[in-house]
Amino acid sequence: MSERPFSVLILCTGNSARSVMAEALFDVLGKGRFVAYSAGSHPSGTVNPFAVERCATLGYDTSKLRSKSWNEFATPTAPLMDFVITVCDNAAGEVCPQWRGTPMTAHWGFEDPGAFEGTDEEKRKVFDKVFRQILNRVSHFANLPLHVLDRNSIQQEMRAIGERPASETNE
């Protein structure tokens, strides 16, 4: 693949929880190998505070997290994308814009922790669970030897990661 950092765009409908947590995880776990972005087909306009809490535990600069439209990444001046990953079933079923570059795509579905209703402590537990699931998948992908794999192999790995049960841990 490329010598530059890989660009990855993580998509969800609201861009308020799962996709922003994945953005932070790619940036942190990728250790400079990835530049991550997140966006939504119908952005909520705010990032869920429980998602911000989880990202902060990584030491991630949460001030740059914001809920934004995927249209920002479909312009002629948008970054070239290497990978596009949907993390919610709704976004996976929508017709996406045309991305710059020829990104490889995959769907890594996770339950929506932002939809959970309960006490703050119960919400934190759901966010913790989904965060760990995203962490497992991002970690698996970030540890692939992308510099030696061909495009077809990377695409197969991306899809295989998404087909693993979200609760499955790294081996």
pTM greater than 0.95 (yes/no): no
In a domain, residue 120? The reply is yes
Give me the active site residues, please: 12, 88, 96
Any idea what the CATH number is for the domain that residue 87 is in? 3.40.50.2300
pLDDT class of 89 with cuts at 50, 70, 90: confident
In a domain, residue 168? The reply is no
Of 49, 50, 53, 55, residue with least CA distance to 36: 55
If one counts the domains in the chain, the total is: 1
Residue 40 pairs in a beta bridge with 12, 69
Domain that holds residue 154: 6-163
Mean pLDDT in residue range 94-117: 88
Of 166, 114, 159, residue with least CA distance to 137: 166
In a domain, residue 75? The reply is yes
In a domain, residue 112? The reply is yes
Per-residue pLDDT reduced to its tens digit, 35-51: 999 999 999 999 999 99
